[in-house]
């Protein structure tokens, strides 16, 4: 059952209940009043009928007396006159001498009171007439009247005529000892009607015990009342009242139903609108508004709902804008992570995105230096005071491991947040949030430990005194991105290093040689500098492999590479071109400098044999080695990287052809380096002596 149905039922119970109860009460009251009025009418009718019957009896008594007092010969004439005048319906004489025409009246033989055997006419056994058995007349009269009464009782049983007319004796009178005058009155419907006219009741003949309740009342015969009558009040039929009362109840019920429906509708319609609007809002339509019909409780509820919807809409718009902004930053971050392995580009993007997502005023990214474990600042934004430095100067700021908030986060791998800075050498702030930047777990090691690569710190959250748990979760996400970025960059650098280095000697390989040589030639050409290229080849290296085996050859190559690195500057770059052939680039070095380096490298290789593990017993564990070197200079011996390298390679073959364990300078138009031992004093322009050695 709906709410409207329940409210309608409740309103109908509240309204119709009292109406129906009132209607029942009114009906009962009307019925009681009608009964009371009927009883009053019957009481009044009894009194009126008694009076009327008494008057008739008095009239008949007077007629009887008038006949009785006249002489016998005049009685008939007087009786006829009285009957003709309507004072009696019949006058009869009884007695020894009685005779006359009146004796032959219609009730001469059948005169009987209407009460039957229990009648109470004046001459009856219980009669109360003036000459009754208990009357004051002579004793003979009493004896004469009583037989008449007895005869009358028997005849009263059959006194009913077809038309309902009854004849009864009403009164008797005697004025002489030898005569009884019986005056009779015809009792018909007209007479009974006249008896009840004054009281508005219906009077009928009947037994005197016909009942006295309800609308009927029995009037028994008695002294002064010779008739046994039944008085019946016509039932009160207030048709108008009984017709109007149901009509009023029906109209009231109809109005109650209409009022209940209107009240239920006016009450539930705003609730239905609220339910509809709430459903629309739940489906995402935040533009839905509820009309406010009236400023009542439901109106205030609708206003509150509309205000809540507007605020929710503003919140959703703000969240949508923030989400879109975060998506843009994440898109930038994703593009940066996928398009570059340069941490100097990746880390600032991560830092700015984290600051935007959390509302921080400033931020700082520090990475752990694998060499000493210190925290080196890589990028910052919004810092003040001593930390407000350019990127180049910021890179020199370092924090000792384990000291202060940042050091503790890096050492423990646990995030920290607070309201004031704790370290004197850390950025000043009112609140901070620092999380570790950790390397992502690898598939082979499900729990690799903290693996802290650095620290991501934010300072002074705008609009709030401190950072909350949501900021911590957000910053953890960005720290994870930073960890992935740093790890990927380092893995990439390591993979690049492995792809560009020789795994046996640790020197750069031929692939990287071509790139570096091209770059160095371009740089030397741009700045007008010189570049010297040395091509080195171990002498008789095949014999080492054949005699001592390839493991021993690998040891010789590794030791040779180590000695090359020892004899070079930091800016010089050494490469393994393949097999036992190596290349050295000497930036900003002329031919004279190249000769000096070639002489130094030849001496380092020649002076100390290489210790190896002999493959067979009886072999020496020390192997003497030597190197042949070809020298070429840019731009003297070539205009491109390939030309310079080819010139150096031709010079190497010239050194080998000259007997090995020596060096040769590539041929040029302007000068030629002669064979022989190296003389530093003559290295600038004169001929260059070959390297001394075994020549093998």
Q: Residue 241: helix, strand or coil by DSSP?
A: helix
Quote the Cα angle for 218-221-222, to 5°. Answer: 130
Q: What local confidence, expressed as pLDDT, does residue 484 receive?
A: 83
CA 531 to chain centre: 77
Please say if the pLDDT value at position 650 is more than 90. Answer: yes
- For residue 598, name the pLDDT band (cuts at 50, 70, 90): very high
Please say if the pLDDT value at position 143 is more than 70. Answer: no
Residues 529 and 491 in one domain: no
Residues 473 and 527 in one domain: no
Residues 526 and 487 in one domain: no
Residues 149 and 200 in one domain: yes
Say how far apart CA 249 and CA 258 lie, in whole Å: 14
- For residue 337, name the pLDDT band (cuts at 50, 70, 90): low
In which region does residue 86 sit, left (phi positive, over 0), alpha (psi from -120 to 50) or beta (all else)?
Answer: left
Residues 517 and 623 in one domain: yes
Q: Residue 119: helix, strand or coil by DSSP?
A: coil
474 in a domain, yes or no?
Answer: yes
Say how far apart CA 439 and CA 452 lie, in whole Å: 6
Retrieve residue 476's tokens.
Answer: 């953890």
Q: Which pLDDT tens digit goes with each residue over 209-251?
A: 444 445 777 777 777 677 777 878 776 666 666 677 778 778 8
Q: What separation, in Å, do the N-terminal and C-terminal C-alpha atoms of the chain show? A: 114
Say how far apart CA 505 and CA 578 lie, in whole Å: 11
Q: Provide the angle, in degrees to the nearest 10, between the axes of the packed helices 469-500 and 343-358.
A: 170
Four-CA torsion 552, 557, 561, 566, nearest 10 degrees: 40
- For residue 591, name the pLDDT band (cuts at 50, 70, 90): very high
Is the pLDDT higher at 220 or at 513? Answer: 513
Residues 505 and 482 in one domain: no
Q: What is the CATH number of the domain that holds 362?
A: 3.30.450.40
28 in a domain, yes or no?
Answer: no
Residue that has been written with the tokens 């070539």 in this structure:
638
Residues 525 and 665 in one domain: yes
Q: What local confidence, expressed as pLDDT, does residue 383 receive?
A: 87
- Cβ(103)–Cβ(181) below 8 Å: no
Residue that finishes a domain, picked among 207, 232, 257: 232
Quote the Cα angle for 109-51-201, to 5°. Answer: 90
Please say if the pLDDT value at position 58 is more than 90. Answer: no
Say how far apart CA 496 and CA 512 lie, in whole Å: 10
- Cβ(362)–Cβ(458) below 8 Å: yes
Say how far apart CA 386 and CA 428 lie, in whole Å: 9
246 exposure class (CB count in 10 Å sphere: 0-12, 13-18, 19+): exposed
- Range of weakest confidence among 62-71, 122-131, 610-619, 648-657: 122-131
311 in a domain, yes or no?
Answer: no
Domain that holds residue 640: 501-682
1 in a domain, yes or no?
Answer: no
Four-residue CA torsion sign, 403, 408, 411, 417: negative
Residues 526 and 557 in one domain: yes
Say how far apart CA 384 and CA 421 lie, in whole Å: 13
- Cβ(290)–Cβ(302) below 8 Å: yes
pTM over 0.85: no
Residue that finishes a domain, picked among 232, 251, 284: 232
Q: Residue 188: helix, strand or coil by DSSP?
A: coil
Retrieve residue 77's tokens.
Answer: 């004439």
Q: What is the CATH number of the domain that holds 617?
A: 3.30.70.270
Say how far apart CA 120 and CA 156 lie, in whole Å: 11
- For residue 165, name the pLDDT band (cuts at 50, 70, 90): very low
Residues 95 and 117 in one domain: yes
- Parallel, antiparallel, or unpaired for β 627-634 and 663-665? parallel
* Nearest C-alpha neighbor of 349 from the set 466, 441, 481, 165: 481
Q: What local confidence, expressed as pLDDT, does residue 603 receive?
A: 92
Residues 6+ apart with CB under 8 A from 333: 349, 350, 353, 481
Residues 469 and 429 in one domain: yes
Residues 141 and 79 in one domain: yes
Q: Residue 86: helix, strand or coil by DSSP?
A: coil
Residues 583 and 538 in one domain: yes
Say how far apart CA 111 and CA 184 lie, in whole Å: 8
- Range of weakest confidence among 132-136, 185-189, 204-208, 590-594: 132-136
587 in a domain, yes or no?
Answer: yes
- Parallel, antiparallel, or unpaired for β 375-381 and 360-368? antiparallel
Residue that finishes a domain, picked among 452, 472, 495: 495
What's the structural domain count of the chain? 3
690 in a domain, yes or no?
Answer: no
CA 228 to chain centre: 89
Q: Provide the angle, in degrees to the nearest 10, between the axes of the packed helices 3-68 and 239-282.
A: 180
């Amino acid at each position: 059952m709906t709410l409207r149905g329940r409210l309608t039922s409740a309103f109908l119970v509240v309204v119709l209940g009292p109406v129906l109860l009132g209607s029942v009460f009114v009906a009962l009251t009307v019925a009681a009043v009608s009964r009371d009025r009927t009883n009053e009418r019957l009481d009044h009718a009894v009194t009126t009928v008694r009076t009327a019957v008494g008057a008739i009896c008095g009239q008949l008594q007077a007629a009887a007396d008038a006949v009785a007092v006249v002489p016998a010969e005049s009685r008939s004439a007087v009786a006829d006159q009285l009957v003709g005048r309507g004072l009696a319906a019949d006058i009869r004489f009884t007695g020894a001498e009685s005779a006359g025409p009146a004796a032959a009246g219609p009730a001469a033989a059948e005169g009987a009171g209407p009460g039957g055997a229990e009648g109470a006419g004046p001459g009856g056994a219980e009669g109360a007439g003036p000459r009754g058995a208990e009357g004051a007349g002579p004793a003979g009269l009493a004896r004469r009247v009583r037989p008449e009464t007895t005869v009358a009782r028997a005849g009263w049983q059959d006194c009913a005529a077809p038309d309902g007319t009854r004849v009864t004796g009403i009164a008797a009178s005697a004025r002489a000892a030898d005569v009884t005058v019986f005056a009779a009155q015809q009792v018909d419907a007209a007479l009974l009607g006249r008896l009840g006219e004054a009281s508005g009741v219906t009077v009928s003949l009947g037994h005197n015990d016909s009942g006295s309740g309800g609308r009927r009342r029995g009037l028994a015969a008695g002294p002064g009342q010779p008739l046994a009558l039944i008085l019946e009040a016509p039932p009160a039929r207030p048709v108008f009242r009984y017709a109007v009362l149901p009509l009023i109840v029906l109209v009231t019920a109809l109005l109650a139903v209409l009022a209940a429906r209107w009240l239920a509708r006016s009450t539930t319609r705003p609730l239905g609108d609220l339910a509809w609007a709430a459903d629309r809002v739940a489906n995402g339509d935040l533009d839905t508004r509820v009309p406010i019909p009236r400023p009542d409780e439901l109106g205030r509820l609708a206003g509150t709902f509309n205000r809540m919807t507007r605020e929710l809409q503003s919140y959703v718009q703000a969240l949508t804008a923030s989400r879109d902004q975060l998506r843009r930053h994440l898109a930038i971050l994703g593009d940066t992570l996928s398009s570059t392995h340069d941490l100097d580009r990746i880390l600032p993007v991560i830092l700015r995105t984290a600051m935007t997502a959390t509302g921080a005023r400033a931020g700082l990214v520090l990475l752990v230096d694998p060499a000493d474990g210190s925290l080196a600042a890589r990028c910052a934004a919004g810092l003040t005071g001593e930390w407000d430095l350019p990127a180049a100067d910021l890179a020199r700021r370092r924090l000792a491991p384990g000291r202060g908030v940042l050091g503790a986060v890096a050492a423990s791998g646990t995030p920290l947040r607070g309201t004031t800075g704790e370290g004197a050498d850390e950025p000043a702030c009112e609140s901070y949030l620092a999380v570790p930047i950790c390397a992502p777990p690898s598939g082979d090691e499900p729990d690799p430990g903290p693996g802290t690569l650095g620290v991501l710190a934010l300072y002074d959250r705008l609009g709030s005194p401190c950072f909350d748990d949501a900021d911590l979760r957000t910053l953890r996400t960005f720290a994870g991105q930073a960890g992935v970025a740093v790890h990927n960059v380092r893995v990439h650098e390591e993979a690049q290093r492995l792809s560009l280095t020789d795994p046996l000697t640790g020197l750069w390989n031929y692939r990287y040689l071509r790139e570096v040589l091209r770059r160095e030639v371009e740089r030397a050409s741009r700045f007008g500098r010189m570049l010297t290229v040395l091509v080195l080849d171990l002498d008789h290296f095949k014999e080492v492999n054949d005699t001592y085996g390839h493991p021993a050859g690998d040891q010789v190559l590794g030791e040779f590479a180590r000695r090359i690195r020892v004899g070079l500057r930091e800016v010089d770059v050494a490469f393994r071109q393949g097999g036992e052939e190596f290349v050295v680039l000497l930036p900003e070095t002329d031919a004279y400098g190249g000769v000096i380096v070639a002489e130094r490298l030849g001496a380092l290789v020649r002076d100390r044999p290489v210790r190896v593990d002999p493959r067979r017993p009886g072999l020496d564990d020390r192997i003497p080695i030597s190197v042949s070197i070809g020298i070429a200079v840019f731009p003297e011996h070539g205009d491109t990287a390939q030309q310079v390298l080819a010139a150096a390679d031709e010079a190497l073959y010239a050194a080998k052809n000259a007997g090995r364990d020596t060096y040769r300078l590539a041929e040029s138009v302007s000068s030629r380096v002669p064979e022989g031992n190296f003389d530093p004093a003559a290295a600038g322009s004169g001929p260059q002596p070959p390297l001394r050695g075994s020549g093998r």
